[in-house]
Chain A
Amino acid sequence: MTIQKLETGNTSFDHISHGGLPLGRTTLVAGSSGSAKTLFAAQFLAMGIELFGQAGVFVTFEEQVDDIRKNLKSFNWDIDTWEKEGKWIFLDAAPKEEIIIAVGDFDLSAFRIRLERAVKRCNAQRVVIDSIGSIFTQFHEEIHTIRRELIQVALTLSRLGATSIITAERLEEYGKITRFGVEEFLTDNVVLLRNVLHNEKRRRTIEILKFRGSNHEKGENPFSINVEKAIVIIPLSAMNLKHTSSDERVTSGIAALNKMINGGFFKGSINLVSGAIGAGKTLMVANFVNGIRENNERCLLMAFEESSEQLFRNAAGWGIDFKQLEDEGLLKVICVYPEVSSLEDHFINIQDIVKTFKPDRIAIDSLSALSRTSSDKGFREFIIAFTAYLKHQQITGMFTSNTPLLAGGTSDTEGNISPITDTIILLRYVEMSGEMQRSIAVLKMRGSKHDTSIRKFCITDSGAEIGNQFEGISGILTGNPMLIKLE
Chain B
Amino acid sequence: MSMHVFQLFINGHTPNSVEAVDTLLKICKENLNDNYDLEIIDIQEYPEKAEEAGIIAIPTLIRMMPTPVNRIIGALNVRSRVLAGLGISSMHK
Q: Would you call B58 and A100 a contact (CB within 8 A)? A: no
B60 partner residues in chain A, CB cutoff 8 A: 106, 110
Q: Would you call B72 and A110 a contact (CB within 8 A)? A: no
Kindly identify, within residues 69 to 97 of chain A, every residue whose CB is under 8 Å from any CB belonging to chain B: 92-94, 96
Q: Would you call B75 and A110 a contact (CB within 8 A)? A: no
A110-B69 contact given A101-B85, A103-B77, A117-B47, CB 8 Å threshold: no
A99 touches B (CB below 8 Å)? yes
Task: Please pick, from A98, A107, A114, A139, the residue contacting B16 in the complex, using a CB distance under 8 A.
Answer: A107
A312 touches B (CB below 8 Å)? no
Kindly identify, within residues 140 to 186 of chain A, every residue whose CB is under 8 Å from any CB belonging to chain B: none
Task: Please pick, from B43, B56, B69, B76, the residue contacting A93 in the complex, using a CB distance under 8 A.
Answer: B56
Q: Would you call B58 and A107 a contact (CB within 8 A)? A: yes
Q: How many residues of A contact B (CB 8 A)?
A: 23
Q: Would you call A102 and B58 a contact (CB within 8 A)? A: no
Q: How many residues of B contact A (CB 8 A)?
A: 32
Q: Would you call B47 and A114 a contact (CB within 8 A)? A: yes
B74 partner residues in chain A, CB cutoff 8 A: 102-106
Q: Would you call B55 and A103 a contact (CB within 8 A)? A: no
Kindly identify, within residues 11 to 61 of chain B, every residue whose CB is under 8 Å from any CB belonging to chain A: 11, 14, 16, 19-20, 43-44, 47, 50-51, 54-60
Q: Would you call A113 and B56 a contact (CB within 8 A)? A: no
In the complex, A139→B56 CA distance in Å? Answer: 11
Report A99 CB to chain B, min CB distance, Å: 5
A111 touches B (CB below 8 Å)? yes
Contact with B along A99-143 (1 / 0, CB 8 A): 111111111111101100100000000000000000100010000
Q: Would you call A111 and B72 a contact (CB within 8 A)? A: no
Q: Would you call A111 and B75 a contact (CB within 8 A)? A: no
B3 touches A (CB below 8 Å)? no
Q: Would you call A106 and B50 a contact (CB within 8 A)? A: no
B6 touches A (CB below 8 Å)? no
Report B51 CB to chain A, min CB distance, Å: 6
Q: Would you call A105 and B16 a contact (CB within 8 A)? A: yes
Kindly identify, within residues 48 to 93 of chain B, every residue whose CB is under 8 Å from any CB belonging to chain A: 50-51, 54-60, 68-78, 81-82, 85
- Majority secondary structure, A binding face: mixed
Q: Would you call B54 and A96 a contact (CB within 8 A)? A: yes
In the complex, A94→B9 CA distance in Å? Answer: 18
A96 partner residues in chain B, CB cutoff 8 A: 54, 71
A104 partner residues in chain B, CB cutoff 8 A: 16, 19-20, 74-78
Interface centre among B19, B47, B73 (most CB of A within 10 A): B73
Q: Would you call A103 and B72 a contact (CB within 8 A)? A: yes
A135 partner residues in chain B, CB cutoff 8 A: 56
Q: Would you call B58 and A106 a contact (CB within 8 A)? A: yes
Report A141 CB to chain B, min CB distance, Å: 10
Specify the chain A residue showing the minimal Cβ separation from B56. A111
A106-B70 contact given A96-B54, A113-B47, A117-B51, CB 8 Å threshold: no
A92 partner residues in chain B, CB cutoff 8 A: 54
Kindly identify, within residues 33 to 64 of chain A, every residue whose CB is under 8 Å from any CB belonging to chain B: none
B85 partner residues in chain A, CB cutoff 8 A: 101, 103
A107-B82 contact given A99-B70, A102-B73, CB 8 Å threshold: no
Kindly identify, within residues 190 to 223 of chain A, every residue whose CB is under 8 Å from any CB belonging to chain B: none
B51 partner residues in chain A, CB cutoff 8 A: 114, 117
In the complex, A92→B53 CA distance in Å? Answer: 10
A residues touching B (Cβ–Cβ < 8 Å)?
92-94, 96, 98-111, 113-114, 117, 135, 139
B residues touching A (Cβ–Cβ < 8 Å)?
9, 11, 14, 16, 19-20, 43-44, 47, 50-51, 54-60, 68-78, 81-82, 85
Contacts A101-B70, A102-B72 aside, 19 further interface pairs with beta carbons under 8 A come to A93-B54, A93-B56, A94-B54, A96-B54, A96-B71, A98-B70, A99-B68, A99-B71, A100-B73, A103-B78, A104-B76, A105-B16, A105-B75, A106-B60, A110-B11, A111-B55, A113-B43, A135-B56, A139-B73
